[in-house]
Amino acid sequence: MRDLILVLDFGGQYNQLIVRRVRDLGVYAEILPYDAPLDIIKSKSPKGIVLTGGPRVVTEPDAPAVSPDLLSMGIPILGICYGCQLISHMLGGSVVASSSREYGKAPLFVKTDNPLFHSVPEQTTCWMSHTYYVQDPPPNFHIIASTPTCPAASITDGQNFYGVQFHPEVVHTPDGNVIIKNFLHICGVAFDWKVDDFVGDTIKKIRERIGDKRVLMALSGGVDSSVAALMIHKAVGKQLTCVFVDNGLLRLGEADEVENFYRSAYDMNIVRVNASDRFLAKLAGVTEPEQKRKIIGEEFIRVFEEESDKIGETHFLAQGTIYPDIIESGGKHAAVIKSHHNVGGLPKNIAFKEIIEPLRELFKDEVRRAGMSMGMPEHMVYRQPFPGPGLAVRCLGEVTSEKLDILRRADAIFREEIATAGLDRDIWQYFAILPNLRSVGVMGDERTYFHTVALRAVTSLDAMTADWADIPFPVLKKVSNRIVNEAPQVNRVVYDITSKPPATIEWE
Ligand code: XMP
């Protein structure tokens, strides 16, 4: 059994980062909600536990807490921010409000040669983001690092408990990785977790689990479903059937590209469904963005159900769900900004007996590494994310085939020029939008009343926040020239210079 570090989530904004840091150091880590049942936690036999930060106050009557039994498991526990305050509060220390919120970089003075700070300079920098702090550590604890405004910036009982008020997981704490690595050494874990091993192990496990049964999967051509499909294909070959739905909302040439690639490179069992007409018929006259998304999601499920009926009974449904999907869908208080739809969303009326999600433990860049380690070509592994509802959310107002044709041409030109300029790996997403806006122009002495095309290109790490990309003017100039000359019915090109927030990446 591989060594595991369990991260118990109290709702802080950096919690996924903690898991990332631990995995990048070669140790497998997982997140569970803070109130996960103790028997589940114990059944995973973690070598160490991290209690994360969170927005609440430990002294409130109904504040989130862990079971006292968790604190007596006898394994190392690191509390970060709220987690540090919680350890302190539960073990008899005091937590109080500071006079003002402390946010940003602070000098950190390391006081002793405790193993948590092994190889960390006596004076370093840390990232603080808190209003409350530990005033008096619990009995038998001592302070091992301080900042000018937070004397108990790090505490320990010298046995199993460690607490830091600052955030070692963010890059603004330059020695944060060393501190996390030190904690992993304290836990006595083996540093031997690698994505490549994960791929081999998973393929083996999938093969054992599937046996001689059949698997059905929706393939979108996106990275997640592609890597998942390839893993399953490597495990059971033609027992896997992939359904690829061309909904008429894909980019220029995309449907043929995806189909040909999987047929020729991997000889996969692929059923391509040309459903463009039925999607466009359902979308006729619809302009409300959420309604468009819902119609596409539902129609996709209908098509998928029909195909699965034709294929006959399949035991397994496979999905390309990745770890952030699982963490995010566990969020209890998140507001619905857009009803996201992933091709491969679970149809309710199909009687599958079991679900296979080979990537449910991986982050996006780990999925990409898994793809590369199976020999997938870079152009498939590093495709930019593309939303499930496709061009419909970039074709504002009613979706018609005429408007889609214009959008496809403009989008293809933009993508081509970004690739030619060598910017495709630096920009998270880059695409065209047809804002349903006509304006007056002049072409060859004639008045025109044509479409405006908007270009959107953003840099991002995880799509949760994004910044507009600083594309060199000569590249924008070339794109704009080509679009007005080559795309039909376009006389104006604009560039979207808004970050997320307040905008979102897609326009609908
Ligand atoms: P927004 O527009 O919310 O998008 O800033 C964040 C990221 O999600 C992608 N996106 C989707 N992906 N199904 C998907 O699989 C969807 O329904 C969907 N809507 C948006 C978007 O392209 C960006 O990467």
- Does 137 share its domain with 241? no
Length of the chain equals 508
- Please name the residue that has the structure tokens 């393939």: 219
Q: How much is the pTM?
A: 0.78
In-domain check, residue 389: no
465's tokens: 């926040």
112's tokens: 């002793």
**Is 58 in contact with 89 (CB distance < 8 Å)?**
yes
- Does 39 share its domain with 125? yes
| 311 has a pLDDT exceeding 50 | yes
Total of domains in the chain: 3
CATH number at residue 459: 3.30.300.10
Least confident of 11-20, 158-167, 232-241, 362-371: 11-20
241's tokens: 């059937």
For residue 360, what pLDDT is reported? 87
For residue 200, what pLDDT is reported? 93
For residue 16, what pLDDT is reported? 83
Give the helix, strand, coil percentages of the chain, each rounded to 5.
Answer: 35, 25, 40
> What is the Å distance from ligand 1's center to 279 Cα?
19
Least confident of 172-186, 318-332, 367-381: 318-332
- The range of the structural domain enclosing residue 429 comes to 400-495
Residue-wise pLDDT tens digits, 53-91? 999 999 999 999 999 999 999 999 999 999 999 999 999
In-domain check, residue 500: no
Provide the angle, in degrees to the nearest 10, between the axes of the packed helices 289-311 and 276-283.
150
Residue 252, SS3 per DSSP: coil
Q: With CA atoms as reference, report the closest residue to 155 among 183, 119, 114, 184.
A: 114
Q: Which residues line ligand 1 (CB under 6 A)?
A: 337-338, 340-342, 385, 387-389, 429, 463, 500, 504-506
> What is the Å distance from ligand 1's center to 20 Cα?
22
**Is 5 in contact with 184 (CB distance < 8 Å)?**
yes
- Please name the residue that has the structure tokens 């739809």: 341
Query: Which of 381, 413, 436 is where one domain is finished?
Result: 381
Query: Which of 187, 204, 224 is where one domain is finished?
Result: 187
Residue of higher predicted confidence among 113 and 454: 454
CATH number at residue 360: 3.40.50.620
Mean pLDDT over residues 193-203, rounded?
Answer: 91
Please tell me the residue having the least CA distance from ligand 1 atom 4: 505
- Does 181 share its domain with 292? no
**Is 232 in contact with 206 (CB distance < 8 Å)?**
yes
Mean pLDDT over residues 313-339, rounded?
Answer: 69
Residue-wise pLDDT tens digits, 366-385? 999 999 999 999 989 999 99
| 150 has a pLDDT exceeding 70 | yes
Please tell me the residue having the least CA distance from ligand 1 atom 18: 387
In-domain check, residue 388: no
- Does 252 share its domain with 180? no
E strands of 10-51, at which residues? Answer: 28-33, 48-51
- Does 117 share its domain with 138? yes
Please tell me the residue having the least CA distance from ligand 1 atom 9: 387
**Is 215 in contact with 356 (CB distance < 8 Å)?**
yes
Question: What are the residue numbers of the active site?
Answer: 81, 167, 169
Atom of ligand 1 nearest to the CA of 389: 17
